[in-house]
Copies of this chain bind each other. A is one copy, B any other.
Amino acid sequence: MSERPELAKLGHISMVTPDLEKSVWFWSDVIGLEEVERRNGDVYMRAWGEREHHSLRLSAGKEASIDHIGWRTKRPDDVKAFGDILEAQGIAIEWLEPGDEAGQGRACRFTSPAGHRYEIYYDVEKPLAPVDTRARLKNSLYRFGDRGVSPRRIDHVNVCTTDPDAGSDWLAKTLGFKTREMIKGKDGRVAAAWMAVTPTVHDIAIQADADGLPGRFHHVAYWVDDAAAVLRAADLMMDRGIEIFGPGRHGISQAMFLYTIEPGSGHRVEIYSGSYLILDPDWEPVVWHGSELDLGIFYWGAKTGASMELTTPF
Closest to A251 in B: B137
| A117 contacts chain B at the CB level, 8 A cutoff | no
Closest to A244 in B: B300
User: In the complex, which residues of chain B have a beta carbon less than 8 angstroms from the beta carbon of A52?
Assistant: 280
Min CB distance A233 to B, Å, is 10
Min CB distance A153 to B, Å, is 8
Are A280 and B248 interface neighbours, CB within 8 A? Answer: no
Are A144 and B235 interface neighbours, CB within 8 A? Answer: yes
Are A8 and B279 interface neighbours, CB within 8 A? Answer: yes
User: In the complex, which residues of chain B have a beta carbon less than 8 angstroms from the beta carbon of A225?
Assistant: 226-227, 274
User: In the complex, which residues of chain B have a beta carbon less than 8 angstroms from the beta carbon of A276?
Assistant: 49, 139, 152
Partner of A239, one of B136, B238, B301: B136
**Chain copies in the assembly?**
4
**With A and B bound together, what is the CA distance between A272 and B227 in angstroms?**
16
Min CB distance A1 to B, Å, is 15
Stretch at the interface among A69-77, A96-104, A206-214: A69-77
Min CB distance A300 to B, Å, is 5
For the complex, count residues of A whose C-beta is within 8 A of B. 67
| A268 contacts chain B at the CB level, 8 A cutoff | no
* Chain A to chain B contacts (Cβ below 8 Å), 11 pairs: A9-B281, A49-B276, A135-B239, A137-B295, A138-B292, A139-B276, A139-B286, A226-B226, A226-B273, A232-B232, A302-B303
Are B248 and A301 interface neighbours, CB within 8 A? Answer: yes
Are A51 and B138 interface neighbours, CB within 8 A? Answer: no
Min CB distance A238 to B, Å, is 6
Min CB distance A180 to B, Å, is 8
Extra pairs beyond A73-B281, A145-B239, A235-B300 (9, CB < 8 Å): A51-B280, A136-B238, A136-B240, A136-B241, A227-B228, A228-B229, A247-B301, A301-B301, A303-B305
Interfacial residues of chain A within 158-185, with CB under 8 A of chain B in the complex: 181
Are B299 and A302 interface neighbours, CB within 8 A? Answer: no
**With A and B bound together, what is the CA distance between A288 and B139 in angstroms?**
9
Are A145 and B236 interface neighbours, CB within 8 A? Answer: yes
**With A and B bound together, what is the CA distance between A51 and B247 in angstroms?**
28
Are B281 and A72 interface neighbours, CB within 8 A? Answer: yes
Contact with B along A296-311 (1 / 0, CB 8 A): 0001111111000000
Min CB distance A47 to B, Å, is 11
User: In the complex, which residues of chain B have a beta carbon less than 8 angstroms from the beta carbon of A226?
Assistant: 225-228, 273-274
Are B143 and A240 interface neighbours, CB within 8 A? Answer: yes
| A254 contacts chain B at the CB level, 8 A cutoff | yes
Are B227 and A281 interface neighbours, CB within 8 A? Answer: no
User: In the complex, which residues of chain B have a beta carbon less than 8 angstroms from the beta carbon of A148?
Assistant: 145
Contact with B along A69-99 (1 / 0, CB 8 A): 0001111000000000000000000000000
Tell me whether A235 and B280 are in contact in the complex, defined as CB-CB below 8 angstroms, given that A286-B139, A295-B136, A301-B247 are known contacts.
Answer: no
Interfacial residues of chain A within 130-150, with CB under 8 A of chain B in the complex: 135-140, 143-145, 148
Min CB distance A43 to B, Å, is 23
